[in-house]
Structure 1
Amino acid sequence: MRIGIAGIAIESSTFSPHRTGLADFRVTRGADLLARYTWTANSDVEWVPLLHAVSLPGGAVQADVYASLKSEILARLVGAGPLDGLVLDIHGAMSVVGLADAEADLVAAIRATVGPSVLISASMDLHGNVSHDFVAHLDLVTCYRMAPHEDAWETKERAARNLVARLRSGVRPHLAWVQVPVLLPGEKTSTRIEPAHSLYGRIPAIEATDGILDASIWVGYAWADEPRCQAAVVVTGDDPQLVQDTATSLAEDYWRARADFAFVAPTGTLAECVAQGLASTARPFFISDSGDNPTAGGAGDVSWTLGKLLAYPSLSAIYASIVDPAAVAVAAAAKVGGQVDLLVGGKIDPGPSGPVRVTGTVRTVREDPVGGTVVVVQAGGVHVIITERRKPYHLVRDFTDLGLDPATVDLTFVKIGYLEPELYDLAEGWLLALTPGGVDQDLLRLGHKGIQRPMYPFDPDMPTPDLTATLLR
């Protein structure tokens, strides 16, 4: 059998002024695309690589960039010859300038190109959005069951495995879908803690039930202002009544738990978090600059937190990081040991502060495959990491490669929400600072206008919705 692989994967904040261009995507085709997936190497399936584009989360994708990527996928589908199936590897929260439901637009065009007989199986992030117009064009869909997403590659393989099994059996599954009018940030829905831990923990047993193929729960994406943004449940399988009843039950469980979701770490204002961190003896001590998290769609250059830190006397800290190619160029030209006086950040997203002055000594200049040229400027006791391109700091080596050790400073600030596994294991102390930016944890402060209402928590006293799942096939 012949199965194509394609996708455009990005998470986009419509509250960020950043715009995602072609240079932000890593585009793979041919053998490079197949090399992304270990399960394509040893298989009797003929995997047909089309195009896959993936970007660090950011602002909405420029319309012409999306149109170009979409057109190439469609052209490659036409040129690929007859296909039995297609694995669609996406995130599910892509926003495109001028579109209200980018994934629905993409999959509708793919379906029109391949026709009704080709089975399409989508792999998604649980922070994706699942609208009716999107899922109506799919035969199979599954999403991550862990946040942080330690099962991302397992999920992609499951989408492929389910597709192959259904092509071999010749039996198209039934699919039930329901949206749940709840919209919460990922930092309140981590599977590390309840109630998400138990909700997602039920899925393997449900999946093992006779008549069920897959059950998936989507949290949705909180930082886009589109009607599709809300939680959702999809169940697939061979027993239509069981499929529908199971989807309804999972949706009702999610709704009942809506007020139980809580932040994955203690929270506070920046000043409160700094005070608690300095008072603690735990080291390393991390503080999340959550409002400008680039892995959730933040611009990565909101300078508000950095400006506040630089005003603290005698603060020993690492700040990771802020993107500013112009500042990086000046610091790199000054070389290690050079003195610089920079205006940093606030150029993509001016936010509440605009650029801030960073005056100090260049300690490191290094090339990074993600961040481009990266410099460390020491301003007083604060080591400021400045990057040429947007880069998240998730790994221990992200710091050690720069000669920095979070254990040797009082506080390490990261533009992130929940800590990714390596930093989570490293941290002896951790607080989530509720800072401003395009992915502000305070959703009410952001001012959504395009989401469907009523919606929890925007309408906390809303009546209980009808969560009976729709059997789409």
Structure 2
Amino acid sequence: MASEKQRLPVVAVAGLSCENSTFTPSRTRAAAFHPKRGQEIIEHYQFLCPKTSLGDEADWKGALIGHALPGGIVEKRSFEELVAEIIQRLSDICQALQNPLDGLWLDIHGAMYVEGHEDVEAELLRRIRAVIGPTTIVSASMDLHGNVSRELAHQADIITCYRTAPHVDVWETKMRACRNLLRTLKVRNIGGSLPLKAWIPIPILLPGEQTSTRDEPALRIYAAVPEVEKRDGVLDAAIWVGYAWADEPRNRAAVVVTGWDKNAVADGAQELAATFWDARHEFKFVAPTGSLAECLDTALGAKARPYFISDSGDNPTAGGSGDVTWGVTQLLARPEFREATGPTVIYASVPGPEAVAIAEHAGVGAIITVTAGAKIDNLHAGPITITGQVHSIKHGDPHAQTEVVLKTGSVFVILTKLRKPYHKERDFTELDLRPRKADIVVVKIGYLEPELYDMASDWMLALTPGGVDQDLGRLGHHRIQRPMWPFDTHLEAQPSLKANFIPFSNEHLSAEEVA
């Protein structure tokens, strides 16, 4: 009996995470997820290691996790391959235990899209449930740019997401998901029930660049989340903005509040949903916007240096293919930058494996002519040919593999073997570039990540074309649930924002509830 009391709960860890634009022609394959297995997973999540507060509260078992750089739709074969391994590893863990798992932490994003599947995170969890059973408590952690369908809320017992954008609370959120799981296990072990789940879909779908928690109204909306969580009888509260660049019925904002006091849970969920809906007219872009030409004109006329410009339509961390050449083509066509004495500009970046190989062979200092980009996404511009001097070469980047800087006129163009996001100052300085000394820095990004934001003396968001176009009307959504703000600006009557209590995972979800 004593040994039974001292037994730690056994909790498995699994998940697949990616953000996939249905408007990007690229495809995401299994290798892009960089899968981790078994003990690697525990070492990756250091807060689960022994001699940490969470690590010592459970026996954590790694199955398989994978996190891919956002991009185009995940190939079905790749998804099936990864899911099959997750299922097999969870089956092996359960078989070794000769008992059901006590819990599962599911680390997902919420905006993955797979060929032949919709609401794929719910599909993943359905398959996992077939192995771990209905009584294993599942706690999911998500990105606030993910989507929460009724079915996903049903399959998961507890669900939470980031509360900041840019996401500076990633690890805090993952740890919260684990703490919520352990707390729920303790309640159940003393005869308590699972927490209730109130889910409210909100007919709003906006890009992250209009919902950053740096600015109002998202700042105050998300500030209300922990206040709801503090209430007696509430375990967790969360708001999802949703993912704007996939055309899928589940894509929209949502609120989920979990806890044991029905009134507190319902009231908290309804208050958060109403706060979000009531603020719909206030959402605006995080920076002044314009065409790329307008942004360049403004930057050239400004005294602020460095002046950052987001080439937002092909942002690889939102789901862009990363190889759209429209922006760099427009930039290099400007007469102001054709001479070496012109304003110093850094452009990040364009994939071009053949161009990178030529530069590697030629070496630093060589004058070369290369062609790059538009190998995958040529919907907006074709490959670009550049003549310039090789400024630097760097090997070993986990995303790009090899990077080359080519100087043409007064512009330093970064070419990569594989696509890469440029979010940190060292991404530039390790290429012998000095972004703080540049006149203009153009980056394929949406809102500026913290280090870029701190470097920028001023900045603009260029509304450029690509698979994650900020002008959502240009993309052509036709499968999202309508009416939807701001696609339907006549949507003035308040929709039903009543708390929907979702059945426990071991209870049946009717066809009407699924719809």
Q: TM-score, normalised by structure 1?
A: 0.98
- Give the drift of 1:47: 0.1
Residue of structure 2 in register with 1:301 after alignment: 323
Offset from partner CA, 1:279-317 (integer Å, 9 cap, x none): 111111110000000000000000001001111124221
**CA–CA distance in structure 1, aligned partners of residues 57 and 277 of structure 2:** 43
Residue of structure 2 in register with 1:469 after alignment: 499
65, 71, 75: which one aligns with 2:88: 75
226, 234, 240: which one aligns with 1:204: 226
Offset from partner CA, 1:202-234 (integer Å, 9 cap, x none): 111111110111110000000000000000000
Pick which of 240-249 and 177-186 moved more: 240-249
- Give the drift of 1:408: 2.5
Offset from partner CA, 1:345-388 (integer Å, 9 cap, x none): 11110022111111111111111222101000111111000111
1:59 aligns with 2:72: yes
**CA–CA distance in structure 1, aligned partners of residues 439 and 268 of structure 2:** 49
**CA–CA distance in structure 2, aligned partners of residues 390 and 160 of structure 1:** 33
Offset from partner CA, 1:394-436 (integer Å, 9 cap, x none): 0000000000011322210000001111111111111111100
- Give the drift of 1:449: 1.0
Offset from partner CA, 1:417-472 (integer Å, 9 cap, x none): 01111111111111111100000000011100111111111111123211112011
Write the letter of the residue equivalent to 1:319.
Y
Offset from partner CA, 1:184-214 (integer Å, 9 cap, x none): 0000000000000000001111111101111
230, 243, 251: which one aligns with 1:229: 251
- Give the drift of 1:325: 1.3
Report the CA distance shift for 1:15/1:98 in structure 2 as closer, same or farther (over 3 A). Answer: same
Offset from partner CA, 1:119-162 (integer Å, 9 cap, x none): 00000000000001111101000000000000011000000001
Residue of structure 2 in register with 1:93 after alignment: 111
Pick which of 261-270 and 184-193 moved more: 261-270
CA contact (8 A) 1:240 1:471 kept: no
- Give the drift of 1:268: 0.8
CA contact (8 A) 2:150 2:502 kept: no
Superposed, which structure 2 residues align to 1:252-271 within 5 Å?
252-271=274-293
**CA–CA distance in structure 2, aligned partners of residues 310 and 211 of structure 1:** 59
Write the letter of the residue equivalent to 1:6.
A
Offset from partner CA, 1:56-98 (integer Å, 9 cap, x none): 1001100000001111111111110231000000111000011
134, 147, 159: which one aligns with 2:177: 159
Write the letter of the residue equivalent to 1:255.
W
Q: Secondary structure at the match of 2:214?
A: coil
Pick which of 58-67 and 242-251 moved more: 242-251
- Give the drift of 1:334: 1.5
Residue of structure 2 in register with 1:34 after alignment: 42
CA contact (8 A) 2:224 2:272 kept: no
Q: Secondary structure at the match of 2:201?
A: strand
Residue of structure 2 in register with 1:381 after alignment: 410
- Give the drift of 1:116: 1.2
Larger radius of gyration: 2
Which consecutive unaligned segments of at least 5 residues does structure 2 have? Answer: 1-8, 95-99, 338-343, 504-515
CA contact (8 A) 1:285 1:406 kept: no
Write the letter of the residue equivalent to 1:449.
H
Q: Secondary structure at the match of 1:12?
A: coil
User: Which 4+ residue blocks in structure 1 deviate beyond 6 angstroms?
Assistant: none
**CA–CA distance in structure 2, aligned partners of residues 124 and 107 of structure 1:** 14
Residue of structure 1 in register with 2:382 after alignment: 354
**CA–CA distance in structure 2, aligned partners of residues 351 and 279 of structure 1:** 31
Residue of structure 2 in register with 1:243 after alignment: 265
Write the letter of the residue equivalent to 1:386.
L
151, 175, 200: which one aligns with 1:133: 151
- Give the drift of 1:333: 1.5
Write the letter of the residue equivalent to 1:469.
A
Residue of structure 1 in register with 2:204 after alignment: 182
Residue of structure 2 in register with 1:453 after alignment: 482
Aligned pair count reads: 473
**CA–CA distance in structure 2, aligned partners of residues 250 and 202 of structure 1:** 7
**CA–CA distance in structure 1, aligned partners of residues 161 and 44 of structure 2:** 18
**CA–CA distance in structure 1, aligned partners of residues 289 and 379 of structure 2:** 21
**CA–CA distance in structure 2, aligned partners of residues 118 and 369 of structure 1:** 36
**CA–CA distance in structure 2, aligned partners of residues 124 and 191 of structure 1:** 16
Offset from partner CA, 1:225-259 (integer Å, 9 cap, x none): 00000000000001112212221221121111111
Residue of structure 2 in register with 1:328 after alignment: 356
**CA–CA distance in structure 2, aligned partners of residues 130 and 366 of structure 1:** 40
- Give the drift of 1:55: 0.6
Residue of structure 1 in register with 2:19 after alignment: 11
Residue of structure 1 in register with 2:431 after alignment: 402
Alignment identity in percent? Answer: 53
CA contact (8 A) 1:277 1:411 kept: yes
CA contact (8 A) 1:325 1:387 kept: yes
